[in-house]
Copies of this chain bind each other. A is one copy, B any other.
Amino acid sequence: MTAIKESSTIQQNKKTALELCPVTFTMEKIGGYWKPIIIYHLSTESKRYSELKKAIPAITEKVLIQHLKQLEADGLLIREAKTVVPPFVTYQLSESGKKLLPVIHAMATWAFEHQEKHINVASE
């Protein structure tokens, strides 16, 4: 999808980090500014490609599809396509994807707590 130079130092280090560090592994899966947002929109119900597009207007189609393919390849979500014209494609969270929800929720909770603190400190 995206050309990658296996030999680059950055790739070597990434690989090392992925092997050493399960946290990095998880962040790889949900990293990228839009992935958590996509997951959020799929957290309650499956959605069509075009629905996602409408729900997240700022994302470009290239990046949306790229993330969807990656999330699918990583086993976080399931793509279902009806062979009709015009196409009808839906995306939904897989079991693995659903298991990620509490993790994501914990991250969000920490964010709110931490943000509050920072605001308090800043306004002293």
Interface assignment of A65: CB less than 8 Å from any CB of chain B: no
Interface assignment of A17: CB less than 8 Å from any CB of chain B: yes
Instruction: Report the Cα distance A106→B99, complex, angstroms.
Output: 11
Instruction: Report the Cα distance A115→B96, complex, angstroms.
Output: 10
Contacts of A118 in B (CB 8 A): 75
- Shortest distance from the beta carbon of A123 to any chain B beta carbon, whole Å: 14
Q: Are A26 and B111 in contact (CB under 8 A)?
A: yes
Known: A20-B37, A96-B114, A117-B96. A102 touches B106 (CB 8 A): yes
Interface assignment of A104: CB less than 8 Å from any CB of chain B: yes
Contacts of A34 in B (CB 8 A): 17
Contacts of A20 in B (CB 8 A): 37
